[in-house]
Structure 1
Amino acid sequence: MLESVLIANRGEIACRIIRTAKRLGMRTIAVYSEADADALFVRMADEAHLIGPAPARESYLQIERILDVAKRTGAACIHPGYGFLSERAEFAEACAQNGIVFVGPPASAIRAMGLKDAAKALVQQAGVPVVPGYHGSKQDPDFLRQKAYEIGYPVLIKAVAGGGGKGMRRVEKAADFDAALESAQREASSAFGDPRVLVEKYILAPRHIEIQVFADQEGNVVHLFERDCSLQRRHQKVIEEAPAPGMTPEMREIMGKAAIEAARAVGYVGAGTVEFIADGREGLRPDRFYFMEMNTRLQVEHPVTEAITGLDLVELQFQVASGDWLPFNQDDLEIHGHAVEARLYAEDPEKEFLPSTGKLWALDFPEDEGLRIDTGVQAGDEVTPYYDPMIAKVIAHGATREEALSRLAEALGDTVVAGPKTNVAFLKKLCEAREFRKGQFDTGYIDRNMEQLGAAPQAADPESVRLGVLRLLEHDFDLRNYRSTVQVGSAETAWDDHDGFQLAGPRRQGFPIKVDGERTEAVLEWPDPSAHHAALNVAVRWGDGVSHLIEDYMPLDPRGFAMTDDGVIVLREGRQTRIAMYDPFDIDLEHMDGGDSIKAPMHGKLIALFVQPGDRVEKGQRLAVVEAMKMEHVLIAPADGEVAEIAAEPGAQVAEGARLIVLKTEE
C-alpha cells in the first residue's frame, strides 16, 4: 500500500479520503486556499499547506503549486477527489512525470473521455448506443441552430468538456436557441476553459442511470451495479439511489456490459462512472438507453454504491493505484438492500435556489443505524461564495427502498442547520413525495412540482415568529417573573415606569423587531396586571393586521433555535426564520436605493453585462449575469425603462444586495 497521499481537493470529499487513508495507515497531506485555512479537512490532515488565494483558479487549479507541495512533503500519491483537477489529463501526466502516483485513470483515458463528442464516437465504435445529435467540431452558431432544427425540438445543448450540469441548456423552441447557446458556451468556458458544445435530441421522460465501473492495471474490469440519478434540478443531481427503481436483471446485465465495453475501449484503470440516459415512458427497456458520458473519477454519489456492496471505493482506488489486482470478479458481487443519498446544499429553494452564504450558527445531524453523514463543515464554519454550496451528503441504507427513503426523510427532519438557507425541507418533501415513492419520476419531476415541494416564495411562518420573539426575550429575561424583572412600580411615579403601565385595559409593552430583515412590531401583553405571574400574550404586527401568537409561556426547546450576533434563527419544519431586535441606527447606506435598482441576489462575481447607461430595456430583458458557487444567475429587467446607472463592472466580486444597475422605469 502507498505510504502517503496528498489530497488535491477540499471540503467533504477531502475529509472522506482522509478517513480511509488514515484507516489504512497512510500519512495524509492537505492543500488549502486562504478561504479554507480553518476548514475541517485542514484540521483532519496530518499536515496542511497553503497554495493560494480563495478563487479556485488561483489555488486548487494550480498544478505546479500542488506538485511542489507533493515533492516537498514526499507524497507517494495524489488523490484528486472530484471536480477541480480530477479530470485534467495534464494533471495526471504531470504527476507521472514527477514520479508521483495519480490515484485515477491514465491521462490517455481521461483525454479520450474528457470530450463528449470524441467519447461518443469512441463508444459507438465499441457497440454502445448514443443519443442522436450533432457531435462534430463545427461551432458556428448558425450551423448549430440549423442542426437543432434538423434534430427537432426540444434539444439539449451540452458542453463538450466537463460535467456536473455546467454548460448544459434545454431548449424548447428555436426562438430561445441563440440565448441558450451563448449562456452554455460562456458557462462552459468559465468552468472548463473550453466553450465548445454539442447538440442532442432531448429524450422525453428521461431517466438518468449510471453504472459504476472499476478496472485494475491488468485489464480486469467489473461493474458495481447502477445508480439512479434522475431527481435533478438544472441538470444538477439532488437525490441519488442504488439500485435503480424498476431495473430488471436483463436490463442491468445489458447496461453493465455496455459500461464495461466503454471502459475497455479507453484502457481504463480505477474508479469511473458511465452515464446513460434512458427513455422511461414505458419503463426501462434494453433498446431505449443511450450513452451520455463517462466521468473518469470518483462520483459524489459513490456512498450509495458502497452501502449496497459493502465496499470502500476509496480503499479500492488506493489498491489499484498501488498495482494490486481487483480482489473480486463480477460473479462475486451482490446487491444488499437499497441506499439513497440527498445533497444538502446552502441554497434557498424559496428564492429559485439562490446560493446562500454565511456562518453556520448551528449544525447537527442525527445518529442512527443505517445512516451516514459525509460533510466537510462544522458549526461555526463559514460557507463562502467561492466553492460548491454542498454542506453535507445524507445517506440512508435499508433492507428495502421504502425503508431507506423513510429513514432518509426522518434523518432530514431531525437535521439542525442554521445560518445560510438550505434545501433540507425541500429534500424531505422529495423523499415523501408520492410519485417518487412509487417510482414514477424522471429528470423533469422536480421542475414540474416546484410549488408542491415548497420551492416557491412563502410568507413568514407565524409560529416561527412567535417562538423567535419568545426566545429573544427568554435569552434576556426570566419570562416567568418578567413583571418583577422590570421592577413594576419601582419608579417615582407611574408615568416613569417601564413595564407597559397604562390607565385601562391589559398592560402592554411594544418593541420593534425584524423578521427576515423586514421591520415589524412585537407587543407583550399582560391580560391580568394584578397577578404576580401573569399569563403572557405576544402579538406581532406585520402586513395589514395583528397576529396574536401566544397565550401563555412555556420553556422552549433549545434545538429549535440558534443564537446569532444580532438575534435568533428559528428552525421549524426545515425552514429558517431570522428574528432580531430592530436598531434604527443600523442602516446599510451603501445598498439604499430608490426601488428601481437591480441588486446582486447573492455574493458572487459579475461575469456579464448586456446594457450600458442610456439603453432602453423591456420588461424581462436580460441585463447581467452573476456567477456564484459554480452557477450562473441571470438578472432581468422588472419593467420597461432606461438604464440610468451601471454600478459595477464585469469581473467584479459583488456582495449580496449590492446595487448593480439602476433603471429609470416608466410610469
Structure 2
Amino acid sequence: MPSFNKILIANRGEIACRVMRTAQALGYRTVAVYSEADSDARHVQLADEAVCIGPAPVAQSYLSIDAIIDAARRTCADAIHPGYGFLSENADFARACEAAAITFIGPTVEAIHLMGSKRLSKLAMLEAGVPCIPGYEGAEQDDATLAREAQRIGYPLMIKASAGGGGRGMRLVEEPDQLLAQLRTARSEAQNAFGSAELILEKAVIEPRHVEIQVFGDQLGNLVYLGERDCSVQRRHQKVIEEAPCPVMTPELRQAMGEAAVKAARTVNYVGAGTVEFLLAASGAFYFLEMNTRLQVEHPVTELVTGQDLVAWQIIVAEGLPLPLEQDEIKQNGHAMEVRLYAEDPAAGFLPQTGQVLRWEPAEVDGIRIDHGLVEGQAVTPFYDPMLAKVIAWGATRDEARRKLARAVEDCVLLGVKGNQRFLSNLLRHPHFAAGEATTAFIGEQFGSDASLSPQPISPAELAIAATLLYQASASANAHQGGLAGWRSAGNAPWRLVLRQGEQKHAVELAVHDAGQQPRLLARVSSTEIAIRLLRADGRWAVVELDGIRRRIAYHQQAQQLWLFGQNGDLELQDVTHEPVGSQGGAGSGTVKAPMDGAIVEVLVSEGERVGKGQLLVVLEAMKMEHPLKAGVDGVIRRVQVTRGDQVKSRQLLVEVEEA
C-alpha cells in the first residue's frame, strides 16, 4: 500500500511542472500552490487542484511555511515535494511537514540542517576525511575576525553565504582593500535570499572545473552515485551549461569522486536525492564545496545519460521502498547537455527583464527535452528568479549533443521579453567549449568580446521584413475598409516608414512592384537595396523571400508594435512614421531610472549632495539579485524620488543629478 496519494508541489515554474509530470504519470493526484502574481501560470493549469498562498513577494507566499502547510491540509495532500530553491533546503519546513503528518519528499531534518550550512557541513566533511578547500568556517562573523582570517588564508579568496547557493552571497576578493565592501554586499544578498547573513571564507582555486556527483539514498541505508555532471561554464558563480559525463573524467577519477560523495552522504545517513559538489583542479585533485540536499536544476542531464527518472526515485524512496538500482547496475549512455533560458539581456550586462510573454514556441528537435513553466500571455515579474526554461539535449557523442542543443536554443521562439538565446548559442559554438576545455574561467577569459555581450545593430534584412509586415497589415486593414481607403495621390511613389527600436530610429523605403496576395517589394535601408516577397503571414509566422532566398520568421504584431524573432533574439519595433516631431524627448544623462521592476533596498544620497560620476546612488533588488545604480555625471543631487522599500517600475525616474 502506498504511504501517500496526493502530492503538493511547494514551488512554481518549470520545476513544479516537471515534478507534476512524473507524479501524475505514477498515478498520484497533484496540488499546485501559487502567489497572486502566478494565478495564470502553467503549473497552476497542469495541477489537479491549486491554492493561492499569498501576495507576489516570496516571503508572503512561496516562503510561507504556514500557508503551504495549510494548503496541504485543505486539499488533503499527504506528501509535499519542495522542488529546488524556496523551502527545499529549509529544515524548519521539513520539520513542519513532519509535525503535520505530511511526508516530506526529501532528506531528514538533521541532514538538511547540517548540509544546508556551508560552515557546518565543511566541518563535518573535514572530520569525515573528505578533501576540503582551506578556509574559515568559524562562528565569529564580525569584520575584524573575517579580515584576520582572510589574511591567514591569503588572496585571492572566496566569500560565500553559508546558507546559500546559486551564486548569491558569493564574491571573489583579489585584494585586501576589497574585502569590507564585498563582505557588506555578500551579507546583504545572503540575508535577503536565504534569511541568514552567515558567511564562510575559502581560498580561491584558480581555473578549476566544477564537477558534482549525483547521490541517492533510501531509508534502508543504501547509497549510490549516478555519475557526475560538469558545471564549469559559469557566470558570476551561476551555472550556464551543465553536461554529463565530464569531458576530462576517467573511470578511476569517477570512482574516487563517487565514493567521496557517498562518504559525505553517509555521514548524515542521507535519504533521497542529493548532490555533492567538488572543485576539480588540473592536477586531478578535487575538493568538497557543498552538498545540496535537494533535486538540482541540472538533474535532467543525469536522467538522459542514465535513463532514470530521478523524481520517480525521490517518490519511491519517500514511500520507504529500496532504491531501484544497485551501484553496479547504474550505467551511462551517450552524452547530455543543458542550458538555462533566462529573461535577461546579455548585451546590457545581463540585466533581468520583465514584461509579457507574447510568443513562446519551444524548439522541436529530435533528442531535445525542454522543461518550462511558460504560457503565452503570462507576465514575467521582478519577484522571482528570471529562469524561464531549461533546454536539454542528448546525443551519442558530446559533439552531437552540443550541435543539437545549439540548434534547439536558436529555434526556441520567445517574444515580448528579451532572452539569452544568442549568448547561449555562441557559448555552445565556441571552439574552446567545443573542444571540451572550458573551466570556470572560460567566460571571463575566452568570451568577453563575444558579440552577444554588446548591443548589435538591427540588420537591413530585419528592417526590410518588419517594414513589409507593417505594410501588409496596413494594406489588409485598408482593403477591409473599402471605398478609397488606402488611396495615395503619389501613385507608385515608395512607401516611407520610420521604425523605432529602443532609442534609435530607422528609415525604410518600400517600392511596391506587386500589391497582390504575395506582394513583391524593393526595400531600401540607407544605401542597401533588398528585393523582398511576402509569401505568407498568419500572425505567428511569416514566410519571406529575400533576394531569392526563403526564410521563415516568427513575429507578433499589436497595432503599430511589431516583435520579430531575429538573429539576436527578440526585436521590438514601433512604426512611428506619423508620430509628431519632438514627441519622444529622451532623459538627460543626469537622470537615474530603474532598469527593471523591483524594490529599492538602499538610498545612499540625499538632495543637495555633491556626487561624482560612477558614485553609487541607489541599490535596486530584483529577481533575487542586487543591482547598483550609479551617477552618470559629476554634479549635485537635484531630486530623490524614492525611499527604501519602495516598489518601482521599469524606466521609473529615481534620482536626478544636475550636471556640474
Q: Same fold (TM over 0.5)?
A: yes
Task: Select which of 160, 163, 184 maps to 1:161.
Answer: 163
Deviation at 1:499, TM superposition (A): 4.6
Q: Deviations over 1:463-498 (max 9, x none)?
A: 22221111111222269xx9x99999x79xxxx973
Tell me what 1:451 maps to. Answer: 449
Q: Considering only aligned residues, what root-mean-square deviation do their CA atoms show, in Å?
A: 2.6
Report if the CA contact (8 A) 1:466-1:549 is conserved: no
The separation in 2 between residues aligned to 1:454 and 1:42, in whole angstroms, is 34
Q: 1:511 to 1:327 in 2, by over 3 A?
A: closer
Aligned letter for 2:326? N
Deviation at 1:517, TM superposition (A): 4.9
Tell me what 1:567 maps to. Answer: 561
Task: Select which of 193, 201, 204 maps to 1:202.
Answer: 204
The separation in 2 between residues aligned to 1:588 and 1:653, in whole angstroms, is 28
Q: Secondary structure at the match of 1:477?
A: helix
Q: Secondary structure at the match of 1:607?
A: strand
Tell me what 1:472 maps to. Answer: 470
Deviation at 1:551, TM superposition (A): 3.5
Deviation at 1:145, TM superposition (A): 2.3
Alignment pair present for 1:522 and 2:508:
yes
Tell me what 1:414 maps to. Answer: 411
Report if the CA contact (8 A) 1:375-1:391 is conserved: yes
Tell me what 2:398 maps to. Answer: 401
Tell me what 1:352 maps to. Answer: 349
Q: Deviations over 1:146-187 (max 9, x none)?
A: 322332221111001121111001122222222211111100
Deviation at 1:566, TM superposition (A): 4.0
The separation in 1 between residues aligned to 2:62 and 2:514, in whole angstroms, is 64
Q: 1:50 to 1:515 in 2, by over 3 A?
A: same
Alignment pair present for 1:462 and 2:426:
no
The separation in 2 between residues aligned to 1:49 and 1:530, in whole angstroms, is 54
The separation in 2 between residues aligned to 1:446 and 1:152, in whole angstroms, is 25
Q: 1:478 to 1:53 in 2, by over 3 A?
A: closer
Deviation at 1:538, TM superposition (A): 2.8
The separation in 2 between residues aligned to 1:266 and 1:521, in whole angstroms, is 66
Deviation at 1:500, TM superposition (A): 3.4
Count, aligned residues = 642
Q: 1:530 to 1:175 in 2, by over 3 A?
A: closer
Q: 1:104 to 1:174 in 2, by over 3 A?
A: same
Alignment pair present for 1:611 and 2:605:
yes
Q: 1:530 to 1:333 in 2, by over 3 A?
A: closer
Deviation at 1:83, TM superposition (A): 0.6
Tell me what 1:578 maps to. Answer: 572
The separation in 1 between residues aligned to 2:11 and 2:582, in whole angstroms, is 40
Q: Mind listing any 5+ residue stretches in structure 1 that lack a counterpart?
A: 541-545
Q: Secondary structure at the match of 2:494?
A: strand
Q: 1:614 to 1:296 in 2, by over 3 A?
A: same
Deviation at 1:594, TM superposition (A): 3.6
The separation in 2 between residues aligned to 1:462 and 1:486, in whole angstroms, is 32
The separation in 2 between residues aligned to 1:335 and 1:432, in whole angstroms, is 25
The separation in 2 between residues aligned to 1:473 and 1:273, in whole angstroms, is 55
Deviation at 1:379, TM superposition (A): 2.2
Moved more, 64-73 or 555-564: 555-564
Q: Mind listing any 5+ residue stretches in structure 2 that lack a counterpart?
A: 536-541, 544-551
Tell me what 1:34 maps to. Answer: 36
Q: Secondary structure at the match of 1:96?
A: helix
Report if the CA contact (8 A) 2:598-2:621 is conserved: yes
Tell me what 1:660 maps to. Answer: 654
Report if the CA contact (8 A) 1:464-1:571 is conserved: no
Q: 1:534 to 1:13 in 2, by over 3 A?
A: closer
Aligned pairs for 1:248-287 (under 5 A) are 248-280=250-282, 282=283, 285=284
Q: Secondary structure at the match of 2:88?
A: coil
Q: 1:305 to 1:588 in 2, by over 3 A?
A: farther
Q: Deviations over 1:430-459 (max 9, x none)?
A: 111100011111112112213225212222
Alignment pair present for 1:362 and 2:359:
yes
Report if the CA contact (8 A) 1:271-1:313 is conserved: yes
Q: 1:486 to 1:382 in 2, by over 3 A?
A: closer
The separation in 2 between residues aligned to 1:230 and 1:318, in whole angstroms, is 30
Report if the CA contact (8 A) 1:231-1:238 is conserved: yes
The separation in 1 between residues aligned to 2:487 and 2:416, in whole angstroms, is 38
Report if the CA contact (8 A) 1:242-1:304 is conserved: yes
Q: Deviations over 1:482-523 (max 9, x none)?
A: 9x99999x79xxxx973535xxxx823434332235344333
Q: 1:75 to 1:529 in 2, by over 3 A?
A: closer
Report if the CA contact (8 A) 2:58-2:383 is conserved: yes
Aligned letter for 2:462? S
Q: 1:486 to 1:518 in 2, by over 3 A?
A: farther
Moved more, 563-572 or 75-84: 563-572
Report if the CA contact (8 A) 1:465-1:579 is conserved: no
The separation in 1 between residues aligned to 2:515 and 2:11, in whole angstroms, is 65
The separation in 1 between residues aligned to 2:621 and 2:385, in whole angstroms, is 12
Alignment pair present for 1:63 and 2:65:
yes
Deviation at 1:529, TM superposition (A): 12
Deviation at 1:462, TM superposition (A): 2.7
Report if the CA contact (8 A) 1:486-1:499 is conserved: no
Report if the CA contact (8 A) 1:569-1:576 is conserved: yes
Aligned letter for 2:265? A
Report if the CA contact (8 A) 1:373-1:394 is conserved: yes
Deviation at 1:573, TM superposition (A): 2.2
Aligned letter for 2:407? E
Aligned pairs for 1:51-450 (under 5 A) are 51-280=53-282, 282=283, 285=284, 288-448=285-445, 449-450=447-448
Alignment pair present for 1:651 and 2:645:
yes
Deviation at 1:413, TM superposition (A): 2.1
Moved more, 243-252 or 367-376: 367-376
Deviation at 1:536, TM superposition (A): 3.2
The separation in 2 between residues aligned to 1:507 and 1:458, in whole angstroms, is 32
Q: 1:631 to 1:565 in 2, by over 3 A?
A: farther
Deviation at 1:652, TM superposition (A): 1.1
Report if the CA contact (8 A) 2:464-2:532 is conserved: no
Q: Secondary structure at the match of 1:316?
A: helix
The separation in 1 between residues aligned to 2:594 and 2:296, in whole angstroms, is 32
Report if the CA contact (8 A) 2:520-2:534 is conserved: no
Moved more, 91-100 or 623-632: 623-632
Moved more, 423-432 or 610-619: 610-619
The separation in 1 between residues aligned to 2:27 and 2:391, in whole angstroms, is 27
The separation in 2 between residues aligned to 1:190 and 1:178, in whole angstroms, is 18
TM value normalised by structure 2? 0.92
Report if the CA contact (8 A) 1:104-1:269 is conserved: yes
